[in-house]
Chain A
Amino acid sequence: MASKASAGSVTRADLADAVHREIGLSRTESAQLVEAVLDRICDALIAGSNVKISSFGSFVLRNKGLRVGRNPKTGVEVPIEPRTVLTFRPSQLLREAINRG
């Protein structure tokens, strides 16, 4: 994993490539499984449940109430409707991994 090019973002294709290398599934199937994992996480969140991936972190839904916002350019008040926002709470392990070395 140290031979990775440092430029650019990591994408689905890189995750699929990692699955292909580590697990030995075909590239096509590896890509499908990366997609399936992300889709099932989305499904759970859309259905209203939090998702906890141990040793990585939790995806937590929070309900925001109605509040009055302001268009910063014009100063006009606009109501911001109640909505659900998604936050990520990294695990202690992930926090530590990022600050190691």
Chain B
Amino acid sequence: MIRSELVAIVAEQNPHLTVRDVEAIVTTIFDEIADALAEGRRVELRGFGAFSTRAREARTGRNPRTGTAVEVDAKRVPYFKPGKELREKLNA
């Protein structure tokens, strides 16, 4: 399922809203999650899962094509841990 399909399903179930409204709602939800993560905050959605960020240390990487060593800076990466309820439903 892609974003536009998600929007279409939710719009279909909410006939008083336009596809454009639902598009804006979906955008708002994911922007809010992204903004929170950028601020270093955790997003906890019970039953669904939790988004957080994890620190990665600086390392020396290699350009896979040329083999040249390149310094990779320390960074934070987004992480998602699925909630218990969802994990169980995936294996029901």
Which of A4, A9, A19, A37 touches B43 (beta carbons < 8 Å)?
A9
Identity of the chain A residue whose Cβ is nearest the Cβ of B79 in the assembled complex:
A88
A: contact size bracket: 35 or more
**Count of B interface residues, CB-CB < 8 Å:** 50
Contacts of B45 in A (CB 8 A): 11-12, 15, 38
Q: Do A22 and B10 touch across chains, with their CB atoms under 8 A apart?
A: no
Does A84 contact B91, Cβ atoms closer than 8 Å? yes
Cβ of A52 and Cβ of B42 under 8 Å apart?
A: no
Residue interface mask A39-73, B partner, CB < 8 A = 1: 01110111001111111110101000000000000
Quick one: closest B residue to A34, CB to CB?
B29
* CB proximity to A under 8 Å, residues B1-43: 1-3, 6, 9-10, 13-14, 21-22, 24-26, 28-43
Q: Using known A-B contacts A36-B14, A95-B78, determine if residue A19 contacts B39 with beta carbons closer than 8 Å.
A: no
